[in-house]
Structure 1
Amino acid sequence: MTAIRLLLVDDDPLVRAGLSFMMGGAADIEIVGEAADGSEVEELVDRVHPDVVLMDIRMPSVDGLTATERLRARGDAGPQIVVLTTFHADEQVLRALRAGAAGFVLKDTPPAEILDAVRRVAAGDPVLSPAVTRQLMEHAAGTATDTRRARARERVAALGDREREVAVAVGQGLANAEIATGLFMSVATVKTHVSRILAKLDLNNRVQIALLAYDAGLLEEDGEGGH
């Protein structure tokens, strides 16, 4: 099995050393580079070609949010990004997820869970648990605007009925197997729908699907017996 190529980005050398020691001990993960600031990320990504970037969200020069936005703005597939943070749900975390980060982990998360998050992101699976997803969505609701909702509704109008159902399930933090069971379809069909949603809405990952579904009010409709 090919090892997951991991890039570590954190301004604290002790944190980087700890992550390197912890992640480097896993047989299926290869640390291909380290950076102390977001300003170094693009050049390193081009040089070492990581599959996943574990990115501190708060750095003194160029923060993880800006570095994430820059990577995603390049338009290529690029690596998956997991942001490191000390807070469960704040505006910076939400902005990083909207910009295309595939998930986030807390700095005090047990090592095994950080490893699991990297593996899941590399495999294209959701990183956020349903509980964390709900917490994020509630935070997003508190910062939502009528303009954002209108834009989100305009975008999800491009989805078919089945795709809307899958988007709602993704917004609930469900994994593909759970969605397949709930919607009476195969896992392969769920993956096809997710891929189509990403392509239609020009999104990077399922976290963005979840945020857009929430912005558009699809999860509220689902709770009221809608799609």
Structure 2
Amino acid sequence: MTAASGRPAEPEVIWTRPHRSGRGPRPAHSRESIAAEAVRIADADGIDAVSMRRVAAGVGAGTMSLYNYVPRKEDLYELMVDAVSGEYDLSAAPTGDWRADMLALARQTRDLMRRHPWLPRLLTPVHGFSPNALRYLEHCLECLAPLDAPDGDKLELVAAVNGTVATFVGSEQALAERARALPWSEAAEQRVRAAYLGSRLATGAYPRLAAALAGAGAAIPAHDDVFDRVVLRLLGGWG
């Protein structure tokens, strides 16, 4: 049942709603084009810039007519998550090394979140069962087939990996934003902070921290190496 505005009179899942009714003229727009426009706006200006009005203008539709395709803004978000989830390359069959396969997927997830910085904000269980998300989860479970664990635990592992990736990418984004806001170079900022930290460690009040940082500072690993190590340590706690 649908209200006069085109919005559903009761909850429904966007994927059960037909693209078009069996009667009437062919729709002027598609979910794919609407989702693509919303993704374009979010990529350029952030998720807060995505509105039904702006998306409608982008696809050449009236704001109210857009509700005939997407009843709620929550549905629009779900279409966006599904659209970018379709960017996963799941063509390769699992290798049998589930840790290596999950690391490869984690790298893809990191790249996906870097391309679409707004994505972590929309990653909730509500949006976790769209067509492309289901395809991704099925592939994850295929990769995890060699792991001797209940299927529910495997789903928890997938969620834990994605949460770790989101945290990692979020930290990258925060650092990048901070660097852009600095009135001087990042290198100059780091020199000042390193000097301050060195003065605190020199007091002898933090012997364990001083030892840890001395060992870590001997060879600063590449950022990608840190990412791989973090994910593999997470996976190492399983199986």
- TM-score class, shorter: under 0.3
TM-score by length of 1: 0.25
Which has the larger share of strand?
1
Which has the larger share of helix?
2
Q: Which has the larger Rg?
A: 2
TM-score by length of 2: 0.24
Q: RCO higher in 1 or 2 (8 Å CA, sep ≥ 6)?
A: 2
